[in-house]
Amino acid sequence: MNVKTKPKTFGPVFAFFDGSETTQYASNPASEKSLHPPVGTPVDMLLASLAYCIVKSVEWAAKDHKSSLHSFAVKVTGTKALDLPGRVEKMEVIIIGDLVDDSAVAGQIVKLAKSICTVSNTLNCAVLVSTEPAADD
């Protein structure tokens, strides 16, 4: 009998941009935000580092495009590899919200942000970046 195991997942970790100088974190969008990443495993800290780097990279990319950013969140999750050595096989980054009014410019900002994010460029795993609309409040 061949038993399939489901890979362990880490996160999510959320980082929030609101136009201020500080980035806030949470383990889900409804929980209280903090100036510090959520307490968890070392992998959760890695996810928080990637989330923060994407936030800052989006800021820099928007500045290069002379665009004013709307508030947004970055959600990062990780999936552990099934084989040895123990490692994160994949990280997924989702940028939640409309970054700017022009969706074409937003796409360019995301592409540039991914290319300049030092943390994602350092990782030796697939890092997938996408966007989704913000939930209506």
pLDDT in tens, 77-129: 999 999 998 889 999 999 999 999 999 999 999 999 999 999 999 887 678 88
H or E element, residue 17 = strand 9-17
pTM over 0.85: yes
pLDDT on residue 29: 86
Sign of torsion, CA 40 42 47 49? positive
What's the residue count for the chain?
A: 137
Give the CATH H-level superfamily of domain 9-20+46-132. K homology (KH) domain (3.30.300.20)
pLDDT on residue 40: 86
